[in-house]
Structure 1
């Protein structure tokens, strides 16, 4: 495969390198290189963002976490505010690939890959994250990703930053189920953020991965559960609603029916908070 590889050192040069739809951007390259080997992408030019310092922002100002395009999973895991203030994100990215993948792969790449199985995406949906595009536009993550491998970014624009607002939660839960215990693509995954007063649910965010065209944030179920007492009866009700709400497909990792039953059963993991 023949292609041109360029490494601009600033965003102005990056923009000047854009040509047409046969031109692709690369941060870590962990998804891109796999797609190229499989023949799914045949770029004429690859533009690496790795040497652009303005795309390597990582900071927390007490209210909002900012993550630049080039920040790797390993850097996120080493950044103390992640585990302290955004532990659901920490839990999710700790399951991504291997140490080698985490040393190269980026959360921004996870977003642009737009797979409903993306572990980092589940945490971003739960956390009401948003993304900043190179022209300054900011979009909610749930609006930015429109389907498997699809976003609203358009031509000659690139993802610059990810923003996650700080929220106070009392409990969290993340789990992904796969065919092996490590380096697995999920058959289904669940993420929950809870704010409890005693056993009453003041607020809940609930999402599932790998069971729809995008990560599924269960907003109607969140509204249903808010203000109710967390008990076995409520978990039964939520479990039934989840079974009806998820929209999986059959693939090599599992059937649609199995995924629906799996999601229904994963709700009972919240028993530990009763």
Structure 2
């Protein structure tokens, strides 16, 4: 049975993670499942719960700082999230149940590095940065290397997530699963727009569950720049999305089904067109 420790500060925390078979636990919603099915067998579990710096949550008008132990529920209750970063609010609100959101953390979703991570999709859209224990910052795209893989090395840990405030005129987030709630995405899509006089001045779009990582569709973003958001553009983008995603077959859906989902999700932009 693994030893369980709860350090009271970062110094104690660093001292406890020296063992290569030790693992870090924040909410534990992913970790405990992996232990139960025998995917990992740690000698020690080091909790982040009592480390004050990991609970940092603040917004100074320019940057949002999210500590490693901040839960989804805490983020949903933090007024600047809904007001200044609504795409993150939308994605988090779609995750799990209240019980899961009371325990799970955005940093945990990031470190788990699942292409189906809804919070992770929002971080890609928002060009979030990850601050490591060594003080260095990396973009989310640099931090995540593949499914379940990050740049973290032994004795390194995520200290916080930083998101710079930007102004967007429109947003959209949707996930498609096998049921209406508490579902893992078969495919998901998030988008941010700056629209002026009917034209797209800037656009960001990302898909989840259709590649080895969350996919930022930068070719589509560049293609849409300074074009009018109309039915013709939506149709062209939908074809590009179908061709550019990289899904696989699994128990939740076939690759072809996922490609069609991505193509069809683009047509949700008609809602944005109606409100522009």
Which TM-score applies when normalising by structure 1? 0.99
Aligned residues: CA RMSD? 0.6
Q: Which residue of structure 2 lines up, in the alignment, with residue 53 of structure 1?
A: 52
Provide the rounded CA distance (Å) in 1 between the counterparts of 2:3 and 2:15: 15
2:140 matched to 1:167?
no
Q: Map of 1:136-155 to 2, 5 A cutoff?
A: 136-155=135-154
Q: Which residue of structure 2 lines up, in the alignment, with residue 4 of structure 1?
A: 3
Q: Which residue of structure 2 lines up, in the alignment, with residue 227 of structure 1?
A: 226
Q: Which residue of structure 2 lines up, in the alignment, with residue 105 of structure 1?
A: 104
Q: Which residue of structure 1 lines up, in the alignment, with residue 214 of structure 2?
A: 215
Shift in Å, 1:18: 1.6
Provide the rounded CA distance (Å) in 1 between the counterparts of 2:224 and 2:19: 48
1:43 aligns to what SS in structure 2? coil
Which TM-score applies when normalising by structure 2? 0.98
2:132 matched to 1:133?
yes
Instruction: Give deviations 1:198-242, integer Å, cap 9, x for gaps.
Output: 210000000000000000000111001000000010011101111
Instruction: Give deviations 1:81-107, integer Å, cap 9, x for gaps.
Output: 000000000000001100000000000
Shift in Å, 1:20: 3.1
Q: Which residue of structure 1 lines up, in the alignment, with residue 17 of structure 2?
A: 18
Provide the rounded CA distance (Å) in 1 between the counterparts of 2:173 and 2:204: 12
2:193 aligns to what SS in structure 1? strand
Instruction: Give deviations 1:158-181, integer Å, cap 9, x for gaps.
Output: 000000110000000000000000
Unaligned regions of 5+ residues in structure 1, if any? none
Provide the rounded CA distance (Å) in 2 between the counterparts of 1:19 and 1:203: 45
Provide the rounded CA distance (Å) in 1 between the counterparts of 2:131 and 2:154: 15
2:275 matched to 1:273?
no
Provide the rounded CA distance (Å) in 2 between the counterparts of 1:273 and 1:133: 37
2:206 aligns to what SS in structure 1? strand
Q: Which residue of structure 2 lines up, in the alignment, with residue 250 of structure 1?
A: 249
Q: Which runs of 4+ in 1 moved over 3 A?
A: none
